[in-house]
Amino acid sequence: MREPFIIDAHIHTGTSWMYYSPEPDWESIIELMDKLAIKYAICSETVFDVARRKIEKTVENFERSDRRIFYLGVYDPADGDKCLETVAPLVGERVFLGLKLHPSLHKTAPEDEAYDRAWRFVADNNLTLLTHSWSVSDYNPVQAFSTPERFEGYVKKYPSVRFVLAHAGGRGTGREQAIRMANEYENVYLDFAGDIFCFEYIETMLKAVPAEKLIFGSDYPMLDPRANLSRVFLSNINSEDKQKILVDNAKKAYKLE
What does the binding site for other proteins look like in residue numbers (CB under 8 A)?
1-3, 18-24, 28, 32, 35-37, 139, 171-173, 175, 195, 197-201, 204, 218, 220-231, 233-236, 239, 242-243, 246
Q: Kindly report the CA angle at 181 between 176 and 185, in degrees rounded to 5?
A: 160
**Least separation, in Å, of the C-beta of 213 and other proteins?**
18
**Least separation, in Å, of the C-beta of 252 and other proteins?**
17
Closest CA to 13 of 70, 67, 89: 70
**Least separation, in Å, of the C-beta of 257 and other proteins?**
19
- Which residue, 34 or 112, has its beta carbon nearer to other proteins? 34
- Which residue, 145 or 201, has its beta carbon nearer to other proteins? 201
**Least separation, in Å, of the C-beta of 19 and other proteins?**
5
Q: How far apart are CA 50 and CA 160, in angstroms?
A: 30
3-state secondary structure of 235: coil
**Least separation, in Å, of the C-beta of 201 and other proteins?**
6
- Which residue, 2 or 92, has its beta carbon nearer to other proteins? 2
Q: How far apart are CA 223 and CA 91, in angstroms?
A: 29
- Which residue, 85 or 200, has its beta carbon nearer to other proteins? 200
Q: How far apart are CA 213 and CA 225, in angstroms?
A: 19
**Least separation, in Å, of the C-beta of 83 and other proteins?**
26
- Which residue, 132 or 175, has its beta carbon nearer to other proteins? 175
- Which residue, 3 or 113, has its beta carbon nearer to other proteins? 3
DSSP string, 124-177: HTT-EEEEE-----SS-GGGGGG-GGGGHHHHHH-TTSEEEEEGGG-SSTHHHH
Phi first, then psi, for residue 234 (nearest 5°) are -90, -10
3-state secondary structure of 97: strand
Q: How far apart are CA 189 and CA 161, in angstroms?
A: 11
Q: How far apart are CA 59 and CA 92, in angstroms?
A: 13
